[in-house]
Chain A
Amino acid sequence: MAESFLLSFQLNGEPVEVAAPPHYTLLEVLRYKLDLIGSKQGCDKGDCGACTVQIDRRPVLSCITLGVHVQGREVVTVEGLTRPGMHPLHDCFDKWVAAQCGFCTPGILMAAEAYLSAVGRKVTRGEVAEALASNLCRCTGYTKIVDAIVEASELMAAEDEGKDDHRRAGNPSKTS
């Protein structure tokens, strides 16, 4: 019998070390070994997106990712989306009632956060649909999810601008 692996990686901004059997998927490592239950198991094999997490800022499907694959990498799960107050995505999903049963929501949030962070601007409904195409939702008809992500993209872009302004203001010598 193969022995457990000692995995070390960055998880939601903190270093973590965990021993897990080599045949555990990342989803099983998160849920069974770390009790991070936010990432959900929906389809068993990469067909639904409920298990979506970010590895090195890209959304991936943790149910078909080996745990050992994240050795030395940066993993962010829905539990990492917290901040003082509410994350704009949480706030907009809540406002639009974009989560009905909420089971697909953590995965959708991780895909959406990766996408919005990467583009850093207001996005269109069509762009959201394309970027979120790995994630299935059975409750909403996607309508309110798109509403929420489009609004969150504005808020996040405004935040980014605010940060840039702050950086410029705080360190004028590096403005260029």
Chain B
Amino acid sequence: MGDFKKKSDGRDEAAESHWQLGKAHRKVDAVDRMRGIARYTDDIKLPGLLHGKIKRSPHPHARIVAIDVGKAEAMEGVHAVVTGRDFPVPYGVIPWTPDENALCVDKVCFVGDGVAAVAAIDEDTAIAACDAIEVEYELLPAYFDPEAALAPDAVQINPYAKKGNLSKHVKLEFGPVDQALEEADIVIKDDYFFEGTTHTAIEPHCAVANVETSGVLTVWSATQVSHYLHRELAKVLGMPAHRIRVIQPPLGGAFGGKSEPFDLEFCVAKLALMTGRPVKILYTREEVFYSHRGRHPMKMHYKTGFRRDGTITGVAAETIIDGGAYSSFGLVTTYYSGQLLTAPYVFPTYRFDSRRAYTNKPACGPKRGHGSVQPRFAIECQLDKAAVQLGMDPIELRRRNNLGADGVTVNEMKVGSNGFLECLERVEAASGWQDRRAELPYGRGLGIAGSTYISGTNYCVYPNEMPQAAVQITLDRSGRARVFSGANDIGQGSNTMLAVIASEELGLDLSDIRVLSADSDLCPIDLGAYSSRITLMVGNACLEAARGLRDKICASVARRWSIPAKRVTLTGRKALDMEDPERQISLTEAFVMAESDHGLLTAVGNYDTPKDRHGSYRGGTIGASPAYSFTAHVAEVEVDAETGIVTVTNVWVAHDCGKALSPRIVEGQMEGSVYMGFAEAIMEQHIVDAEHNGVHTGPSLLDYRIPTFQDTPDIHSLIVEHPDAQGPYGAKEAGEGPLHPIIPAISNAIYDAVGVRMNATPFSPPRVLDALESRRTLEADGAIAPHKDHPLAVPEVA
């Protein structure tokens, strides 16, 4: 069912006959960006544009006693000032947890929380006006540790919280896990910590608003979820959605960091409505760090039982999630911290108990691999430890636990196609695992890890009966086509993906197609760029629309040629008779025929998710996806035992994306994912300084160090294609799955290199040295033998 008929190499049999699929495409919108012509949000200029700035709280937790905006309002060049009182309606991207206001109303919850905003003739005046706003605070105790925040006597942080500082608690149990652990031959127990990290898109958040004379409000924003922004704007501003237009201009990276509304969007809208003039707010880089919504820090305790043959008997996980000041997607994160772990390995029994706490920090949210990167780190390290204890090759141990295609997970998720075994084979072969691993000297090592990820979620964040995606395509006698889609191209190439599908079906060249996306006035609604949903969902909608048009065109041509419509094919900018290929006309001529028959040529496609693929228990829909991608990584590291520096030299990444509609773009997603995860493993940490009032330890691209060209490993992408019946041409996601395995793969490679387990990210030099020091003590006591016959020397200095 799940897998299409495949050749032995896993490729779709029809691949050779494709006109566009699987080719090395150029993106439809890259050249204007490269030439500096494309206008990103901050590049928008409008006559009379005012500049806005947001005043932020210098306290991590305080009650707002009074705000005096008088001096700011009186300043020359200041056009309007707003505070939280102007936005009394709370919002939240998850409708069940509306727990933040556009600006703080009664209290501030972290250093950087917005309290007021101004619109002025220029940025300098706006900054001066913010400085002139006087806020009186009454300080409250602040909590920077989730367990401290969950203490019974802790002061409540979030003003809308229902249970103190417990943001969400999910405990789900599948089967008799305690019994399974008791009966296991070995049980691996360990504690893990995944540090918070942030997205760091190079484009800072920016929004512009303008009000037409008709009263229609337009908001341009660097968002990856135009539709959810549209909804929340309507709610918070108290305006009907049909009086608001949301446009997402070309976007400079997102990674989950722009996947919900932010204060600046509400502020520009309100300030534009108040002043009647266009208003822009551009975050400073520092403000981007405060907006955050990045990877949740997670403290995880894992117990995993194994039989002697390496198969898992049960997994029990307890997780404390540090949520920051607001919910964001936290309800979903808390589920994902357990729900997305149940493939690619069979868990006969499973329990997870995850609690998300509010703390006085920038709110965490969805960063690439939302909620599942952290537990994946834990479980893949657990598997490695079991393999060592059982004396088994860790790849072999993974094979023995493989769920396979058309499987059902312990938490009742239905998995379709599954190329995980091939992923393992590909990285095993490409890395030279079998030959090299045993021979690498002390200090060098290889590590393996695998993972799975969703291709979109089966349910929208707000319950409704409407399709999850819709696309409209029109074409005409000019020979050009237009694809209208609400989907947000955030650099991942979704506009190109739509053009590839349309061109594949219609025989057009990519350059004959204009993709118009993410403008709520022009395009059908789409839910946005999150949970790796676009290729599968919007791709399916586009495929349906394109096929609708193709059928009309083929029928019109066939009628004139007096042959059955199925003999006509559209390819290479031509319509031709498959049984007599000499008989052909240009596509433009074919379009003329069809337009003569039908008038304007237009078709729509809709996509909705299958509703029979999730668990039958409360919460069982969360984590359910139409299709699951699979990934395996091998990381090669060099560990300098004297400095503790880990150098990741090579990463082999094999990813089952179902079908690579555009392989070079898929590779780019794989490479970018590896890079982002590698950075989390080795150096990144988004933390506040608990000793210093909870300030961010370095809200800049100097102090929040992200890897440069020279720091980045050589990344070898291996595309694996196990087409899934749910995806367009079998395609599944490629944007987030390939991130997951890199962190545990590096941890496991460090163990292979020098015999120490890194259970907390990042694997920084001081931590690696500490781990080596602990090992040295054990070796000196005779408790363990030297790793790779290399006794750890006593340091020469110190």
Residues of chain A at the chain B interface (Cβ within 8 Å): 31, 35-45, 47-48, 50, 77-79, 81-82, 86, 90, 93-97, 99-106, 109, 128-130, 132-133, 135-146
Contacts and interface: CB of A to CB of B under 8 A. Distances in A.
Interface centre among A78, A86, A144 (most CB of B within 10 A): A144
Given A40-B252, A97-B30, A139-B672, A102 B701 contact: no
Given A97-B664, A102-B33, A138-B255, 7 more contacts: A43-B285, A44-B700, A77-B36, A100-B493, A109-B34, A136-B708, A146-B709
A105 B31 CA distance: 10
A80 B436 CA distance: 49
Main secondary structure of the interface of B (DSSP, over half): loop
Given A47-B701, A94-B26, A144-B667, A101 B201 contact: yes
Given A79-B36, A94-B26, A102 B491 contact: yes
B40 interface: yes
B702 interface: yes
Interface centre among A86, A100, A132, A141 (most CB of B within 10 A): A141
A39 B36 contact: yes
In the A-B complex, the 6 residue pairs with the closest CB atoms:
A38-B36, A101-B491, A102-B33, A103-B252, A141-B675, A141-B671
6 contacts: A31-B43, A97-B26, A97-B27, A99-B30, A141-B674, A143-B667
B608 interface: no
Given A81-B35, A97-B668, A99-B27, A48 B40 contact: no
B675 A142 contact: yes
A42 B701 contact: yes
Contacts of A44: 284-286, 700
B712 interface: yes
A173 B406 CA distance: 77
A141 B36 contact: no
A41 B709 contact: no
Interface centre among B43, B202, B204, B706 (most CB of A within 10 A): B202
Interface in B696-716: 700-702, 706, 708-710, 712, 714-715
Contacts of B31: 86, 90, 94
A104 B36 contact: no
Taking residues whose C-beta sits less than 8 angstroms from the other chain, chain B's interface range is: 35 or more
Contact of B43 (A37, A86, A99, A129): A37
Contacts of A95: 24, 26
Contacts of A77: 36
Given A99-B27, A101-B252, A43 B491 contact: no
Contacts of A132: 709
Given A42-B701, A97-B664, A138 B251 contact: no
A78 B35 contact: yes
Contacts of B672: 100, 138-141
B671 A143 contact: yes
Contacts, number: 175
B343 interface: no
B779 interface: no
Given A99-B27, A102-B491, A138 B201 contact: yes
Interface string B600-639: 0000000000000000000000000000000000000000
Contacts of B706: 136, 138
B493 A138 contact: no
Interface in B252-302: 252-255, 282, 284-286
B242 interface: no
A150 to B, nearest CB: 13
A109 B33 CA distance: 11
Contacts of A100: 253, 491-493, 668, 672
Nearest to B42: A41
Nearest to B492: A100
A9 B546 CA distance: 52
Contact of B708 (A31, A35, A102, A133): A133
B200 interface: yes
A48 B202 contact: yes
Nearest to B702: A47
B250 interface: yes
A97 B717 CA distance: 14
A132 to B, nearest CB: 5
B36 A42 contact: no
B757 to A, nearest CB: 26
Contact of B37 (A31, A38, A138): A38
A168 to B, nearest CB: 33
A142 B36 contact: no
B624 to A, nearest CB: 29
B513 interface: no
B676 interface: yes
A86 B26 CA distance: 14
Nearest to B30: A99
Contact of B701 (A43, A86, A137): A43
B128 interface: no
B35 A38 contact: yes
B790 interface: no
A47 B253 CA distance: 17
B701 A139 contact: no
B38 interface: yes
B715 A143 contact: yes
Contacts of A105: 33-34
